[in-house]
Amino acid sequence: MSHGDPVPGEVALFVTCLVDLFRPSAGFAAVRLLRAAGCTLIVPDGQSCCGQPAYNAGDRDNAVALARQNVDLLTPYRYVVVPSASCAAMLRNHYPKLLGDDPAYRENAAALSGKTYELTAFLTEIAAFEAPQGAAQTYHMTYHDSCSALRELGVEDAPRALIDQCADLKLAESAEKESCCGFGGTFCVKYDDISAHMADRKLDAFMASGAQTVTALDLGCLLHLAGRARRRDLPLEFRHLAELLAASCAAPPIAAPPIAAPPVAATHLPKSAVANAGERGNGHD
């Protein structure tokens, strides 16, 4: 993975806040997939939020500032790939609107829109990609069409085409595959009762499908659904699709209960060692 100055043909991975802070394993899986597709990959330094939370909350000034920052950062690259449909939609659909009246950024914002792809769309439409085989286990899974993927980007067939390439991924579609999960960013905070009802409807459909694993392209949806499933004690696992496609599932499922550490045998230290540790720490550790 390159970290130097951009050169023509390099693919920039726009990591996203949720991948960076909550599910870095999805980011590393995206790296593995893009490398397998033959991409010269770079993760540009200085990435920040795409601005979607500010934009959706009506904070236009901060949304514009973040858009300008990301346009400056990502303009040199041939393609920009995003392991999140909602963040990809922000770059593709909303940056040209945000910066359309800015003569200094209008042209580059439009150009960035045209070369930004959600990960599975890039792998199927642009890259010559074949999914790796030989996962450690078989996953009986169902796929959630996020609103951003399906309705903003029109990404519906790409993830399913990639799933079909993997003999170890068995897809069972749910009756509610295209309905909103109820996350919607701040929607789940402002309208928590409605949000929980929407999540429960999705989860009931997932259970009825017979799947054991739920996957999607958007971590916001997965975090929301996984949290609700854990509250209900449902036997479902949640993983970003990149992890499943890359056979990179070493990380625990999203919102999985923590694994209890084995008990540690009591150790009796010499009094001198305890005294010395106290002197070094001075009670401020």
200-252 tens-digit pLDDT:
999 999 999 999 999 999 999 999 999 999 999 999 999 999 999 999 899 99
- Mean pLDDT for all residues in the chain: 88
Residues 6+ apart with CB under 8 A from 49: 17, 66
**Mean pLDDT, residues 74-97:** 97
> What pLDDT digit, counting tens, does each position of 133-168 carry?
665 688 999 999 999 999 999 999 999 999 999 989
Which domains does the chain possess? 11-125 (no CATH), 139-245 (3.40.50)
Tokens of 76: 């040199």
SS3 at position 178? coil
What is the rounded CA–CA span in Å between residue 265 and residue 232?
35
Partnered with residue 82 across adjacent β-strands are 118
pTM, rounded to two decimals: 0.85
Exposure string of 236-270, with b = 16+ CB inside 10 Å and e = fewer, is: bbbbbbbbbbbbbbebebbbeeeeeeeeeeeeeee
pLDDT tier at 130, thresholds 50, 70, 90: confident
pLDDT at position 78 is 95
Partnered with residue 117 across adjacent β-strands are 81
> What pLDDT digit, counting tens, does each position of 245-279 carry?
999 899 999 999 876 666 665 554 444 443 444 44
Question: Is 86 within 8 Å of 52 (Cβ atoms)?
Answer: yes
